[in-house]
Amino acid sequence: LIEELIRELKPVRRLQSPFKRMTRFMAVAMFCFLGALSILGIREDLYEVFSRPAFLLQAILLFTLTILSSLSALILSVPGEERSLVVRWISILIFLFWAATLGSLLFFIGDAAGPLGHGFNCIRDIMVFGSLPGVVLFIMVRKAAIFKFGWSGALLLLSVASLGALGTQFVCRNDSPLHLLVWHFLPVAIAGLIGIFLGKFLIRKIIK
């Protein structure tokens, strides 16, 4: 048995730390982000909306969620590190805080910033911004040894969907809290739930 195991040995390159790999991912993600932004076009009133605290708060939350979720997915792919709960739960708390922020805006402002509108273009834009970074993050996660498949899939898709929602903010002109809740927040939430399924079934099968 030992001789057979020795024959099957293959050279293995040690992975960098999750933080360094997250930094590499974010560099690629920002490059893809700028490329998608140049294709889809920037909203004309971007300079004006940058002065709105609600816009800035959501942008900060989504950028932070992208970073922490990708870091969590990379940490969970390292054996022995999957027990670390801090970053994972901070990501979930930021996601919930984003939901609470939109809910508060909807309660206090209502549709003062605009109607619900059609958001199919927003879903498309979220996918455009998040697709290529999603492939990159999947490859990086797959190079390690995943044990928490459901969590890894959920955090992976949560990260890239949050990046997509962040980019969509720079494209979509509808700042209605109801529109943001239905067409920006819900697609990210659904992506996270889909990630659980993909992690438990698809990623597990691909790795095996």
The tokens of 123 are what? 């879903």
Q: Alpha carbon of 123 to those of 58, 130, 160: distances in Å? A: 17, 11, 13
pLDDT digits over 153-201, tens only?
A: 899 999 999 999 999 999 998 888 889 999 999 999 999 999 988 877 7
Strands, E, within 67-182: which ranges? Answer: none
The tokens of 90 are what? 């901070």
Indicate if the pLDDT at residue 45 is higher than 80. yes
Q: What is the pLDDT of residue 14?
A: 72
Rounded Cα distance, 97 and 7, in Å: 52
Run of H or E including 179: helix 177-180
User: Which distant-in-sequence residues (6+ apart) come within 8 Å of 141 by Cβ?
Assistant: 73, 74, 77, 152, 156, 203
The rounded mean pLDDT for the chain is: 86
User: Which distant-in-sequence residues (6+ apart) come within 8 Å of 155 by Cβ?
Assistant: 69, 70, 72, 73, 76, 88, 91, 192, 195
Q: Categorize the per-residue pLDDT at 206 as very low, low, confident or very high, splitting at 50, 70 and 90.
A: low
Nearest CA-CA partner of 172 in 68, 20, 44, 16? 44
Asked if 80 and 17 touch (Cβ cutoff 8 Å), the reply is no
Model pTM above 0.85: yes
Q: Categorize the per-residue pLDDT at 35 as very low, low, confident or very high, splitting at 50, 70 and 90.
A: very high
Between 9 and 52, name the one with better pLDDT. 52
DSSP state of 9: -
Q: What is the pLDDT of residue 66?
A: 97
Segment 29-33 shows an average pLDDT of 97
Q: Alpha carbon of 22 to those of 82, 116, 190: distances in Å? A: 16, 35, 23
pLDDT digits over 75-105, tens only?
A: 888 776 655 567 888 999 999 999 999 999 8
Q: Categorize the per-residue pLDDT at 28 as very low, low, confident or very high, splitting at 50, 70 and 90.
A: very high
Indicate if the pLDDT at residue 145 is higher than 80. no
Q: Categorize the per-residue pLDDT at 15 as very low, low, confident or very high, splitting at 50, 70 and 90.
A: confident
